[in-house]
């Protein structure tokens, strides 16, 4: 029989001690990690990039289908993804967590195990944070810090007319995965005897529950000698991110419907759910792939890359931001921010 320890038994200092015991520091720039009023870092001649994100239970995740370990991993990955989108290398994170009294020590350790795994996978040091109580649900707020050589940071604002528009991986799967999870949850609530059927949906469900930041592509672009002119990570959906790049760069863009990268399981599931796959790709969000622009001259370097797809081109601002089909018709895109309120 497994034993569970209530948080109250361990207390604040006990919990912090347990978490700290498993922390390894990997970056030379980490001078002092957890244990003081602040962490001390030494980026030397590098510039640093800083990004932060907060995830709330019931808004950003649903613990009925999101295992705590995956949640911890994802919370780190989405922040590292922002660092990747700056063309930087992640080095440190701080983690604030608020949780209810009903959590057991084991549950908190599951969450931190996911955080630890992500730190390992992205070579990041956990250097600080705060663990406090919540009267409502679980809240996770992470700040990620990265390093980049001066002049190497890639902003959203550098796209130029004639640049190629590229994305990594495939799009829309995380959104379809969420639809599947929501459906299985409804079915389970209607009939608790029912076992969720997720075998055939493993890829898209995995994309939702455990996305990866595309640090691999950041490193590969460097090896290929490509510095993107602009870059952003796809958290809200391709359409919205492309609008950000265009408005901040003062350009337009045309992306081609037939070039959009999609996974077969995502496409099948969209049909099954009676959803337009293009809408899922354009507005689904949460894929955490990278959207970036490169000079036309770099075409040969990426054209056969298995993880990069050229989906369109940058145009004059006056042409707007459009989705074009095979027949040569163009439809203007609309931004969709979140609609939480």
Query: By CB under 8 A, what part of segment 141-180 binds a copy of itself?
Result: 141, 143-146, 148, 150, 153, 155-157
CB of 191 to a copy of itself, least distance (A): 26
Which residues fall within 8 angstroms of residue 7, CB to CB, at 6 or more apart? 15, 99, 101, 103, 104, 105, 108
How crowded is residue 82: how many other Cβ atoms within 10 Å of its Cβ? 22
Instruction: Give the residue with the Cβ less far from a copy of itself, 97 or 209.
Output: 97
Structure tokens at 157: 């604002």
CB of 131 to a copy of itself, least distance (A): 9
- Which region among 28-36, 113-121, 214-222, 271-279 touches a copy of itself (by CB under 8 A)? 28-36
| CA–CA distance, 26 with 28 (Å, rounded to integer) | 7
**Position 59 contacts a copy of itself (CB under 8 A):** yes
**Position 316 contacts a copy of itself (CB under 8 A):** no
DSSP string, 80-139: HHHHHTTT-EEEEEEEEEEE-TT-BHHHHHHHHHHHHHHHHHHT-EEEEEEEEE-SSS-E
End-to-end CA distance of the chain: 44
The closest alpha carbon to 128, from 198, 10, 34, 249, belongs to 34
Q: Is 162 annotated as a binding residue?
A: no
**Position 136 contacts a copy of itself (CB under 8 A):** yes
CB of 135 to a copy of itself, least distance (A): 5
Which residues fall within 8 angstroms of residue 2, CB to CB, at 6 or more apart? 106
In the window 65-94, what residues touch a copy of itself (CB under 8 A)? 82-83, 85-86, 88, 92, 94
The length of the chain is 341
CB of 64 to a copy of itself, least distance (A): 15
| CA–CA distance, 228 with 152 (Å, rounded to integer) | 10
**Position 38 contacts a copy of itself (CB under 8 A):** yes
Q: Is 51 annotated as a binding residue?
A: yes
In the window 173-232, what residues touch a copy of itself (CB under 8 A)? 231-232
CB of 61 to a copy of itself, least distance (A): 12
In the window 99-118, what residues touch a copy of itself (CB under 8 A)? 101
- Which region among 52-60, 213-221, 267-275, 277-285 touches a copy of itself (by CB under 8 A)? 52-60
| CA–CA distance, 305 with 51 (Å, rounded to integer) | 29
Structure tokens at 14: 């006990």
In the window 230-289, what residues touch a copy of itself (CB under 8 A)? 231-233, 248
**Position 338 contacts a copy of itself (CB under 8 A):** yes
CB of 180 to a copy of itself, least distance (A): 23
Strand order in the sheet with 321-324: 230-233, 290-294, 164-168, 308-315, 252-256, 321-324, 330-332
Instruction: Give the residue with the Cβ less far from a copy of itself, 26 or 303.
Output: 26
Number of residues that bind a copy of itself (CB under 8 A): 74
Annotated binding site: 37, 51-53, 60, 82, 112, 129-130, 156, 233, 235-236, 286, 338
């Amino acid at each position: 029989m497994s034993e569970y320890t209530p948080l109250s038994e361990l207390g604040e200092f006990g919990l912090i001690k347990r978490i700290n015991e498993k922390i390894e520091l990997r970056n030379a720039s980490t001078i002092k990690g957890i244990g003081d009023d602040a962490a001390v870092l030494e980026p030397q001649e590098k510039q640093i990039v800083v990004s932060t994100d907060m995830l709330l239970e019931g808004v950003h995740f649903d613990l009925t289908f999101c295992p705590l370990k995956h949640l911890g991993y994802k919370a780190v990955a989405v922040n590292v993804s922002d660092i990747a989108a700056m063309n930087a290398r992640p080095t440190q994170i701080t983690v604030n967590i608020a949780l209810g009294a009903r959590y057991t020590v084991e549950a908190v350790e599951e969450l931190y195990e996911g955080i630890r795994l992500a730190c390992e996978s992205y070579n990041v040091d956990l250097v600080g944070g705060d663990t406090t109580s919540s009267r409502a649900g679980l809240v996770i707020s992470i700040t990620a810090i990265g390093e980049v050589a001066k002049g190497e940071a890639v902003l959203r604002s550098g796209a130029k007319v004639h640049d190629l528009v590229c994305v990594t991986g495939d799009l829309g799967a995380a959104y379809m995965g969420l639809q599947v999870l929501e459906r299985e949850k409804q079915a389970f609530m209607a009939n608790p005897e029912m076992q969720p059927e997720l075998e055939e949906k493993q890829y898209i469900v995995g994309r939702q529950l455990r996305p990866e930041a595309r640090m691999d592509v950041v490193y590969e672009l460097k090896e290929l000698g490509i510095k993107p002119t602009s870059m952003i990570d796809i958290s809200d959906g391709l359409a919205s991110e492309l609008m950000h790049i265009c408005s901040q760069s003062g350009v337009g863009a045309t992306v081609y419907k037939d070039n959009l990268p999609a996974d077969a399981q995502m496409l099948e599931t969209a049909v099954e759910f009676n959803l337009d796959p293009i809408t899922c790709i354009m507005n689904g969000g949460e894929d955490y792939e990278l959207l970036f622009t490169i000079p036309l001259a770099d075409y040969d370097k990426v054209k056969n890359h298995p993880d990069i797809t050229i989906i369109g081109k940058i145009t004059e601002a006056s042409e707007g931001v459009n989705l074009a089909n095979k027949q040569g018709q163009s439809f203007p895109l609309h931004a969709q921010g979140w609609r939480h309120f």
